Amino acid sequence: MLLLMALVIFRPDRHNLRDMERVRAIQNTYYGVLRRVLECEYAANEALMVYEMLVRKLEELKHLKEGLVRIYYGFDSRQLNPLIKELFDMM
């Protein structure tokens, strides 16, 4: 789980990065570590399938987050139910 969090944190496509190439290199290191961990836990072909699935899921989560942010910023918070407003304020 910590490796997946590191992959999310060290994304080179974030805004206002000073050294995008360094962040990309760090992220690639974490991708390599994830792959090696999976190879220790699974057979080679299964490790590759799990690795590819996890990479796809990370990309899906990125797109989901972007969609939720667009929805969030499109709302007029004054019209929301107080409970829903509190949930959106936590994002």
pTM, two decimal places: 0.71
- Which residue's entry shows tokens 């360094």? 22
CA distance 29 to 44: 19
Percent of the chain with pLDDT strictly greater than 70: 86
In the chain, DSSP assigns E strands to none
Contacts of 56 (CB under 8 A, 6+ apart): none
Dump pLDDT digits (tens) for 18-59. Answer: 999 999 999 999 999 999 999 999 999 999 999 999 999 999
